[in-house]
């Protein structure tokens, strides 16, 4: 079992298919296989200014995408993900990264068909 220093990049994306596009792009272009997408409810922080006091803004479905990348390439992948997920667009979501102590290397077996 091989362990390497890694970073966890987390994105909160709108529920518009951008999570699937990002995952496919990461695998195709960067051979990144340590990715997960989780559906969740979210609300925009700025929306709280437009609601009545004592009430919460409407929730919407969003996707949390977590990507484990080697620490040595974390900044490169962070910028790549920001660009490919179009986080800079209006309502495009948010991205952040943090340390994780170590993770084991994960590779897919040879000869698997792409889904």
Residue ranges per structural domain of the chain: 3-104
Instruction: Read off the pLDDT of residues 34-64 as tens digits, 9 standing for 90 and up.
Output: 899 999 988 776 655 566 777 777 788 999 9
Can you list the residues of the chain whose pLDDT is less than 50?
Answer: 1
Q: What is the 3-state secondary structure (H, E, C) of the chain?
A: CCEEEEEEEEEEEECCCHHHHHHHHHHHHHCCCCEEEEEEEECCCHHHHHCCCCCCCCCEEEEEEEEEEEHHHHHHHHHHHHHHCCCCCCCCCEEEEEEEEEEECCCCCCCCCCC
CATH, domain 3-104, list 3.40.630.40, 3.30.460.80, 2.170.190.11, 3.30.70.120:
3.30.70.120
pTM: 0.79
């Amino acid at each position: 079992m091989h362990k390497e220093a890694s970073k966890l990049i987390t994105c909160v994306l709108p529920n518009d298919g951008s999570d699937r596009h990002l995952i496919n792009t990461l695998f195709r272009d960067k051979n990144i296989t340590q990715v997960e997408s989780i559906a969740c409810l979210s609300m925009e922080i700025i929306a709280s200014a437009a609601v009545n006091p004592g009430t919460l803004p409407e929730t919407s479905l969003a996707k949390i995408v977590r990507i484990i990348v080697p620490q040595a390439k974390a900044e490169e992948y962070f910028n790549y993900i920001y660009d490919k997920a179009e986080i800079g667009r209006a309502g495009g979501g948010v991205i952040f990264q943090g340390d994780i102590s170590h993770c084991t290397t994960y590779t897919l077996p040879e000869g698997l068909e792409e889904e």
